[in-house]
Chains A and B, each alone.
Chain A
Amino acid sequence: MSNQVINFFKFSSPQAFYPLAGKMVPWFAALAAILGITALYIGFFIAPTDAQQGEGYRIIFVHVGVSWMSMLIYVVMAMWAAIGLGFNTRLSNMMASALAPTGAMFAFLSLCTGALWGKPMWGTWWVWDARLTSELILFFLYIGFIALQSAIDDPRRADKAGAVLAIVGVINVPIIYFSVQWWNTLHQGSSVSLTKSPSMAATMLLGMLLMALCFWMYSIAVALKRLRVIILERERHTAWVAALPEVKS
């Protein structure tokens, strides 16, 4: 038991996690590539044409995945920020900072693909509807987190300020998720529900889930890659960084 605890905490130091993260990145990247290719194949060649929306519905394969990731990454980011704030663990704070730009990118893509879907189906790129507005706020929360952290020179204070913002902002995630139930919106209801049987063709659902999984693996790979860069940036004056092969050569 005690042995396991020691092994677990070993990797909470940036020095120990840096090489481990480096080993994990290619695996997650490869998984993302395989899942992405499979999902694209299913999405374009196997999933049938939609009865109502024709071929336009195929935007769903990216739109749902990027939207899910934008929310999931925010929750994970806030969780790491909270752990960092509570236990003062450097690596957790770095993890939160590493996730923010990827989350912001997914929130941006969610808004973009949503606009591209809204134009042909609703006749407008944008409406100030509950779902769309709360997703826009999520994008601003990511931008706010990044801007706040980069505005504070001392990394420890930047971590704390960012963590508070991230934790407070979590309230927005259930608002986005339930917005289609709580308010009358133009946005359609949830594509996937845990309580109801799926309302779409099995191949459509499969393509969508595989694409979401691809984005998930991509996010892990990119976040770990960014974490390694952040570790290097923050630990640049330490002896272990100076001894790294990539720095020595």
Chain B
Amino acid sequence: MNWNSPAEFFAMGGYALYVWGSFGACAVLLALEPLLLKMRRTTVITEIKREIAARTQNETQN
């Protein structure tokens, strides 16, 4: 075990900013990407539903 206390773990031997900055940047972007994708998917599905609804409406009117 490398760490004697949680404080020591978070201090990272004085490199806290750099180590946690690197891991943090990776964690944030790796979590953000699937979220953005989910939003993009919801958008396209809503659009397709609207198009289909408009099409069927046109067909019933004619």
Contact = CB atoms under 8 A, between A and B. Distances in A.
Contact of B15 (A55, A101, A112, A218): A55
Given A45-B2, A108-B29, A247-B52, A116 B45 contact: no
Given A232-B41, A246-B45, A113 B22 contact: yes
Majority DSSP secondary structure for residues of A touching B: helix
A62 B17 CA distance: 15
A25 B10 CA distance: 34
Given A45-B1, A55-B19, A101 B33 contact: yes
Interface residues of A, number: 38
B18 A56 contact: yes
Q: How large is the interface on B (under 10, 10 to 19, 20 to 34, 35 or more residues)?
A: 20 to 34
16 contacts: A47-B2, A49-B2, A55-B15, A56-B14, A63-B22, A105-B29, A105-B33, A112-B22, A116-B25, A117-B18, A222-B33, A222-B37, A225-B41, A228-B41, A246-B45, A247-B48
Interface of B: 1-3, 9, 12-15, 17-19, 21-23, 25-26, 29-30, 33-34, 37, 40-41, 44-45, 47-49, 51-52
